[in-house]
Chains A and B, each alone.
Chain A
Amino acid sequence: MSDVHIHRGTWSGLAILGLITSIIFVTIGCTSGATPPSALDKGSPGGAASTSGQRASLTGAGATFPYPLYSKWFDEYRRSVDPNVTINYQSIGSGGGKQQITQRTVDFGASDGPMSDEELQRAPGILHIPTVAGAVVIAYNVQGLDGGLKLTPEAIAGIFLGQVKKWNDPLIAAQNPEVRLPNADIAVVRRSDGSGTTNILTDYLSSVSLDWKSKVGAGTSVNWPVGLGAKGNEGVAGQVKQLPNSVGYVELAYAEQTRISYAEVQNKAGNFIQPTVRSTTAAAAGADIPADLRASIVDSAGADAYPIAGFTWLLVYQEQTDYGRGQALVNFLWWALHDGQKFAADLSYAPLPDNVVRLAEEKVRSITFQGNPLLTVQ
Chain B
Amino acid sequence: MKLFGERPVNAGDAAFRLIALVFGLMVVGLLLVIILQLTSGAWIAITTFGLGFLVESTWDPVAREFGALPLIYGTVVSSLLALLFAVPVSVGAAVYLSEYAPDWLRTPVSFLVELLAAIPSIVYGLWGVFVMVPIVRSYIEVWLQERLGFLPLFQGPPYGLGMLAAGLILAIMILPIITAVSRDVMRAVPDTQREAMLALGATKWEVISRAVIPYARSGIVGATILGLGRALGETMAVTMVIGNRSEITGSLFGLAQTMASAIANEFTEATYDLYTSSLIELALVLLGVTVLLNAIARLLVWRVGGGPVGGRRE
Contact = CB atoms under 8 A, between A and B. Distances in A.
- Do A and B pair up? The answer is yes
Interface of A: 2-3, 5-6, 9-10, 13, 92-96, 98, 113, 116, 118-119, 185, 187, 192-196, 216-224, 227-231, 235, 238-239, 242-243
B116 interface: no
B43 to A, nearest CB: 17
A231 B265 contact: yes
Contacts of A220: 61, 269, 271
Interface string B130-158: 10011001000000000000000000010
Interface stretch (B1-9, B71-79, B171-179): B1-9
A223 B269 contact: no
A22 to B, nearest CB: 18
Nearest to A216: B62
B62 A222 contact: yes
B35 interface: no
30 contacts: A2-B4, A6-B1, A6-B18, A9-B18, A13-B18, A94-B271, A95-B268, A95-B270, A96-B268, A113-B271, A116-B272, A185-B157, A187-B159, A192-B244, A193-B265, A193-B269, A194-B268, A194-B270, A194-B271, A195-B269, A219-B61, A219-B62, A221-B61, A223-B58, A227-B245, A228-B162, A228-B244, A230-B240, A231-B239, A231-B244
A238 B134 CA distance: 12
B244 A94 contact: no
B129 interface: yes
Interface of B: 1, 3-4, 7-8, 14-15, 18-19, 21-22, 58-63, 129-130, 133-134, 137, 157, 159-162, 239-240, 243-246, 255, 257, 261, 264-272
A95 B272 CA distance: 8
Contact of B159 (A10, A95, A243): A243
Contacts of B58: 223
Nearest to B62: A217
A4 B257 CA distance: 54
Nearest to A185: B157
Contacts of B244: 192, 228-231
Nearest to B8: A2
Contacts of B255: 228-229
A217 B64 CA distance: 11
Most buried by A among B8, B133, B272: B272
B196 to A, nearest CB: 50
A13 B266 contact: no
A82 B161 CA distance: 50
Nearest to A229: B244
Contacts of A98: 271
Contacts of A119: 271-272
Nearest to A12: B18
B269 A94 contact: yes
A5 B14 contact: yes
B268 A218 contact: no
A330 to B, nearest CB: 27
Given A218-B62, A219-B61, A228 B269 contact: no
A221 B157 contact: no
B259 to A, nearest CB: 14
B60 A194 contact: no
Contact of A217 (B1, B3, B63): B63
A113 B271 CA distance: 10
A230 B125 CA distance: 12
B245 A229 contact: yes
B264 to A, nearest CB: 8
Nearest to A118: B272
Nearest to B61: A221
Nearest to B1: A3
Contacts of B130: 238
What are the 4 A-B residue pairs with the smallest beta carbon separation, nearest first?
A: A194-B269, A229-B244, A93-B268, A192-B244
Contacts of A187: 157, 159
Given A187-B159, A217-B62, A243-B159, A2 B7 contact: yes
Contacts of B243: 228-229
Given A9-B15, A187-B157, A193-B269, 17 more contacts: A6-B18, A93-B268, A93-B269, A94-B269, A116-B271, A216-B62, A219-B62, A223-B58, A228-B159, A228-B244, A229-B245, A230-B240, A231-B244, A235-B240, A239-B161, A242-B160, A243-B137
Contacts of A228: 159, 161-162, 243-245, 255
Contacts of B8: 2
Contacts of A113: 271
Nearest to A218: B62
Contacts of A3: 1
A323 to B, nearest CB: 32
A92 B15 CA distance: 44
Nearest to A224: B245
B268 A10 contact: no
B258 to A, nearest CB: 11
A18 B9 CA distance: 29
